[in-house]
Amino acid sequence: MELSRTDHAIINGDHGPAAADALQLVLKFAEAVGAPRLLTCAGAHVDGCLYHGQASLDFVERFVALKGRVKVPTTLNVGSVDLIHPELFIGDAQLGAAGRRLMQAHVELGCTPSFTCAPYQTLLRPKFGDQLAWAESNAIVFANSVIGARTNRYGDFIDLACALTGRVPDYGLHRSENRRARVIVEIQGLENAGPDQAGGIAVAAGLFAGKQCGDSTAAITGLPASTSEDDLKALGAAAASSGSVVMFHAVGFTPEAPDLKTATGGADVPVVARLGPDDISGILASLSTVKDGTALTAVALGTPHFSLSEFDRLMPMLDLAPFAVPVYVNTGRHEWERLVADGRAQRLESAGVTVVVDTCTYVTSIIRDLSGAVMTNSGKWAYYAPGNLGVDVAFGTLADTLLSAKAGRVVRA
């Protein structure tokens, strides 16, 4: 492997013992994936701050003891508790304490306490072409696809090792030749769908790509002209949840796909599916495990974390309050601070909406009543919650979820 002067300096301890230790891990990882060299890393997003057992904490505490500091801007994924609203946590007290310590330990290493699965919505949003070491499946897809930054699907521990060294292996999606579309998914007959429909179409396209395209990068054509960045976020989250997708090209929307020829590099790429309105409806219907009219015990929104523009869409719907069931919205600290500053946080609280920060309702114990079905507008939440929480799920649009919260049962706009 080619080692730079920087690599040799880190190995020799010039950057401290924590960086030297971490680089050994990065080099072993690079060897395992066949990378010939390391690249300069522009930023990292660490997923290992979500507590999965004592090993999670031991790993980070070692670098804290070595007085390690991250070398690049490093955001943190969701943790196990909401540090801003600790009273929301209703799980095991010892697990909660360990989760809090794990989150704090990462901050002691110099990581930014973002605690969000949507770091691209923070002030540390990367730029086109940046080489990153990102973990968290939806964030990886968003960085590659919507921003045009470059990262592979890094897992817990190696993400932090890259952050502590500022180095990342040169392989996979860090290289231009590996970023071209290998298959095509055509959406047909829905180009003129409005904003309320575009989100569901994006979720369906993502679920299909995740289940049917494997780890092949898909070029998706025919998305509605009204497709927003939030819709692309939902597409990537659904694709990464249902499969091993790390990148997609939304032709006409994402930076490396102004047209199909650019997305494929001019190669002859097969069309693996043509999805019309009935196909899209069928895919979305498969996310619901209950029928319309089923009683609900909660509504869960914001997976990935709600953006400010999504709150803009939500606020007028608060006129439906009071709601018959609790409504939970997951979001990041960046968004929460804005909501507090402009008064919307108080308006949400007055309407009976619980805003969850730093974590997510499908990975930690926050929803107080899981005895019945929960409704969501998130393809990711709907895909994971039955297994994670053991609940039945109803999927719908944002309008569907708020009308259902009002009625206390599944209804459609």
SS3 395: strand
Q: Is residue 291 part of a domain?
A: no
- Distances in Å between the Cα of 176 and the Cα atoms of 119, 346, 350 are 23, 47, 50
- State the CB neighbour count (10 A cutoff) for residue 284: 19
In the chain, pLDDT over 90 holds for what percent of residues?
A: 99
SS3 19: helix
57-115 pLDDT, tens digit each = 999 999 999 999 999 999 999 999 999 999 999 999 999 999 999 999 999 999 999 99
Range of the domain at 66: 5-175
C-alpha to C-alpha distance for 348 and 355, rounded to whole angstroms: 8
Domain final residue pick, 117, 151, 175: 175
Structural domain tally of the chain?
3
311-334 pLDDT, tens digit each = 999 999 999 999 999 999 999 999
Q: Which one, of 365, 283, 339, 392, lies nearest residue 80 by Cα? A: 365
C-alpha to C-alpha distance for 108 and 89, rounded to whole angstroms: 23
Q: Is residue 290 part of a domain?
A: no
pLDDT at residue 230, as a whole number: 98
Do 304 and 201 belong to one domain? no
| Banded model confidence at residue 273, pLDDT cuts 50, 70, 90 | very high
362-392 pLDDT, tens digit each = 999 999 999 999 999 999 999 999 999 999 9
Do 138 and 119 belong to one domain? yes
| Model pTM score | 0.97
Q: Is residue 248 part of a domain?
A: yes
What size, in residues, is the chain?
A: 413
* Structural element, H or E, at residue 54: helix 54-65
The mean of the pLDDT values for the chain is 97
Do 33 and 166 belong to one domain? yes
- SS3 helix, strand, coil % of the chain, rounded to 5? 45, 15, 40
Q: β-pairing, 373-376 with 296-306? A: parallel
Q: Is residue 48 part of a domain?
A: yes
Domain final residue pick, 122, 148, 175: 175
Do 208 and 274 belong to one domain? yes
| Banded model confidence at residue 117, pLDDT cuts 50, 70, 90 | very high
Q: Which one, of 300, 306, 281, 282, lies nearest residue 373 by Cα? A: 300
